[in-house]
Structure 1
């Protein structure tokens, strides 16, 4: 695998020192940042992502406030608080499941590319996973770890979604929910750390 990787040329990239010196020699141009932000938000995909983040933040905040008892004065009845908890829990569950449904085909595609590992596949995968799209030692193994963790994240979220929809809150198995949440949160977190700490 590594021999195949080495045979594929990498694009030339600026050194780390050059990039940092370029960043710190310039002052922040707020007008250009504003233009970039407006341009970014005009993209329908980015607009949808922003809406998703906003919904997660609002629903997560409400869930946190209910869980910690900060809304006890505003919502004195326990049944009402439980209803608020469940509604926001289901909203978050739906939002994260939607994100997994969106991401999973791409992760399957990357898995197929890793299994084929042709020169064109290597270039595509490097653009996704490697810094500057350049060759890294044992990159196939490192990419495979990240892709598998992505799949673990998706499958754990699907299982969690099934538990949330299939059971009432009182009947929901706490161990199952705990395991699913642990994998659903842990897998992408480990993948992110692995991407940063590994040679990728």
Structure 2
């Protein structure tokens, strides 16, 4: 009996160990699954620029202009490379009151002038108070051109330090450098053998193809996400449709504006809100971004399936033309509409009270 109990004891310990390990594995698997889903969700909710041309167009549309540079406000940039003015909410700077997007909730009025005293003596009521007129009468003086040039140089450096700015500079320089080299090789500039020239043409072409794949395929998940929202906007239920267009408008807030009723409460530097953007332009941008990824598949197929001796030239030329043209159209649209938005609403801005910074997010 003692021997039987001793032989059963290891088996029981083995069963208990298995029963204790199974829940541990299940809990670990559940945690890993939850973490992976959460990571994917956060990545899809991130809002990178749709492509190189769209990022460049948006950055140019919201770049600091002469008015921004000659203002007393500091110029900074957000992660998307868009210019942001830090507007002080102090009463005075340099003896003048800074104009704000909207009037503060409580504000001490200026001392009465001679006209106000005369009206009070005669018993004439005061005219309705107009914040916009008051702000227009107390705009801070413009800075000198020397200070504007200095501020522009600092702003250019700050732009390069942003993630989008650094990407635009590095990526753009690579495309220009390798593209120029390919262009001169095709024009037979320089003295080298035919075989060596064809080899360098192939190297340049493959590098450019890799650069185009980087943006076309690297941004494909977000382009597919936007395409899905576009389809839900047009073909989904009323509730889903409204939610989808609001998501698209928020992601494209640099250039797209919804109807006026959805922009109420929006604070801008000028106190004005740009008119609604035509809805077909959202379709145009999203579809062209998706087409850019699809055209790049065709170009990569010709570049990687065939070698430089038997590759059909018409296939490469066709797909590189279609891919660049579709991305360029989306970028031009984003730039043109973003330019109109900034001209009406002014630059993005942050309110700064002392050392406390209160960023203002403009709604789509």
Q: How many Å separate the matches in 2 of 1:193 and 1:54? A: 20
User: How far apart are 1:130 and its partner, in Å?
Assistant: 7.0
Give the 5 Å matches for 1:74-153: 75=192, 77-117=193-233, 118-127=241-250, 128=252, 131=255, 133-135=257-259, 136=276, 138-139=278-279, 141-153=280-292
User: How far apart are 1:122 and its partner, in Å?
Assistant: 2.4
Q: Name which one, 1 or 2, has greater alpha-carbon Rg.
A: 2
Deviates most, 178-187 or 62-71: 178-187
| RMSD, aligned CA | 2.9
1:178 to 317, 323, 328: 317
- The structure carrying a bigger strand percent of its residues is 2
Gaps of 5+ in 2: 1-64, 71-141, 234-240, 260-275, 342-364
- The structure carrying a bigger helix percent of its residues is 1
* TM-score (norm: length of structure 1): 0.73
Asked whether the equivalents of residues 123 and 133 of structure 1 are also in contact (C-alpha less than 8 Å), the reply is no
Gaps of 5+ in 1: 1-19
Deviates most, 84-93 or 188-197: 188-197
Asked whether the equivalents of residues 114 and 144 of structure 1 are also in contact (C-alpha less than 8 Å), the reply is yes
Deviates most, 127-136 or 94-103: 127-136
Q: Does 1:168 align with 2:307?
A: yes
1:55 to 153, 174, 184: 174
- Give the aligned partner of residue 30 of structure 1: 149
User: How far apart are 1:91 and its partner, in Å?
Assistant: 0.5
Give the 5 Å matches for 1:153-164: 153-164=292-303
Aligned residue pair count: 176
